[in-house]
Structures are given as C-alpha cells and as structure tokens.
Amino acid sequence: MIYVMYNPLAGNRTCEEACKGVGEIFASDDKQYIDLLTIDDLEQYIRQFSPEDQIVVCGGDGTLNYLINHINTAELEQDIFYYPGGSGNDFYHDVDEEGTNGVYRINMYLKCIPVVKVKGMKKLFLNGIGYGIDGYCCEEGDKKRIVSPGKRVNYSIIALKGLVYDFKRVNAKVTVDGVTKEYHNVWMAPTMNGRYFGGGMKCAPNQDRMNEDGLVSVIVVHSRFRLPVLLAFASVYKGNHIRYKSLVTELFGSDITIEFDRPTALQIDGETVTDVLKYEVHKDKKIIC
C-alpha cells in the first residue's frame, strides 16, 4: 500500500490538488490519500502500517517540520518519500540537486536532525532557524495571509521593504561551541541545517546537512549601512553573498546560542515565533547519518 499523506493548507491551499501528481509517478493503483490534519495521533496511526508499505509526504517545509515533530522518523521502517507541494520547498531545493521535481526518498535525512530551544519550546527542524530580517519576513507574510487567504506571498518583496526602511537592526551575542563574539548592527543571524530558506535563497551555501561532524552553519549579516546589505542581498539566491566578508560572517558548530538585545521575530522552517530574545540549537555529533 502507498499512503499519500498531504497537508491541504500547503502551497497556499493547492496541495490537495497537487498531490494527485503522485499517482502519475507510482504506477500502483493501491494508493490511499490521507489529510494529515485529520489525524489526531500521527505516530500511533503510522504504527498500523506494515514495513512493506510506502509513505509519500506531500506538502512544504512546514509539513515536513510537522512530521518530524510528531513522530520518531528515525525509527520508521517504511520507505518515506517526499513530493513537493509547498510554496517555498527549501528542503527540496537542498536535497534534489538534479532538479528532478518528482518524488524523492528522504529516510536518510530524517535521522540526523538538530533541535532548537526558544521561549520554553523545544522543536526539531530540517532547514533552518531564521532570526532577524528573515523572521521579520515570515511575520509580515503571516499578516498578508490573514488579509488575503490563499494568495501567494512574495518574500523577496517583503525582504526588500525591510532592507530599505522597515527592519530595525539589532546587536547580537553569538556563541558557537563555547566561543562568544558580539556583533553590532545585525540584520540577521540564522542557524542553518540545510542551505536554503525563503523559497530558494541560498543562505548557507557551504552547509552540508549530512556532514558527519554534526555541524550547522551560522550566517551573521552585520552592517551599519543599508546600501551594502541591499547589494549583497541581490546575490543571495546563488549563495554569493558570503563573498562580502566585511558584511557576512560564516561560522560552523554544533552548539549555538544567539541573543539579540531587543525582541525580534524568528522562524523555524517557516513557522513564525514572535518577540524572541534568544534561541539555542544543538546537533548531536555522535549521530551517524
């Protein structure tokens, strides 16, 4: 049996229709389509499946985040496939380097997952923690969805608005594996497990989510002036922003603590958390991916 588990809210509410494309990829007629949001206990539900069954998850980055935080994906016996049906699909940008845009087996990526602690909450994440203007973009995007449900949110336009006049810079204390550095006029300080965020922005081009040392990337963008950051922003889709060494600091570690001097929005795989002063990330070095 092939279980196609989809999130009807993903892709600006287009995922339910989009997931029908799975039927064109899997020739078997023995398929069952399941709305993820109708399942009360996802882990208990999947325990009913046999090891020979296959699971296809259809949705976006938020859907995958929901999956890893509701079941122990490292112990699943079934083959787990991902079919992108979200609006950003940053996980898919990262792992499908060939650009096949089809169904992709993801079991190996579900066994080496970092954890974030923020505002008394502890969550696993696949792609990254955005803190600063990237969190601001998610916060503004949420507001637009309330006003215009189902309408696609253009995060590039929101980011430009923030860079030009709206986002207020902060001071940050960044601790990586016990070493602390302080930065002034910080625009963002994300911690990345993958390379992409924001619907295709290559924020951490040197990050490898499957690295054996359990390292994540911290990208600190800091500048007193807006214009240099705007110029660097134009190159983020190809990951060339890290060439601006006076603006961008790239750090690697497995234990990260980021503190801002005023409350700022944060995003976890696209999910917004508002009024954050501090977050911590840990990725276990002993995990063999």
Domain extents for the chain? 2-110, 115-282
Q: What is the pLDDT of residue 99?
A: 66
- Taking residues 211-232, what's their average pLDDT? 94
- What number does CATH give the domain 2-110? 3.40.50.10330
- Taking residues 246-274, what's their average pLDDT? 96
Each residue's pLDDT tens digit, 76-122: 999 999 999 888 889 999 998 776 667 889 999 998 899 999 999 99
Q: Which tokens belong to 204?
A: 């951490």
- Taking residues 57-74, what's their average pLDDT? 93
Domains 2-110 and 115-282 share a fold: no
Judge contact between 106 and 68, C-beta under 8 A.
no
pLDDT surpasses 80 at 27:
no
The proportion of the chain whose per-residue pLDDT surpasses 70, expressed as a percent, equals 97
Instruction: Place 159 in a pLDDT band, splitting at 50, 70 and 90.
Output: confident
The secondary element (H helix, E strand) that includes residue 61 is helix 61-68
- Can you give 212-281 as a three-state secondary structure string? CCCCEEEEEEECCCHHHHHHHHCCHHHCHHHHCCCCEEEEEECEEEEEEEEEEEEEECCEEEEEEEEEEE
How many whole angstroms separate alpha carbon 216 and alpha carbon 282? 9
The CATH classification of domain 115-282, taken from the options 1.10.630.10, 3.10.129.10, 3.30.420.40, 2.60.200.40: 2.60.200.40
- Taking residues 138-149, what's their average pLDDT? 86
pLDDT surpasses 60 at 250:
yes
Find, among 81, 31, 26, the residue nearest to 55 by Cα.
81
- Taking residues 69-80, what's their average pLDDT? 92
pLDDT surpasses 60 at 288:
no
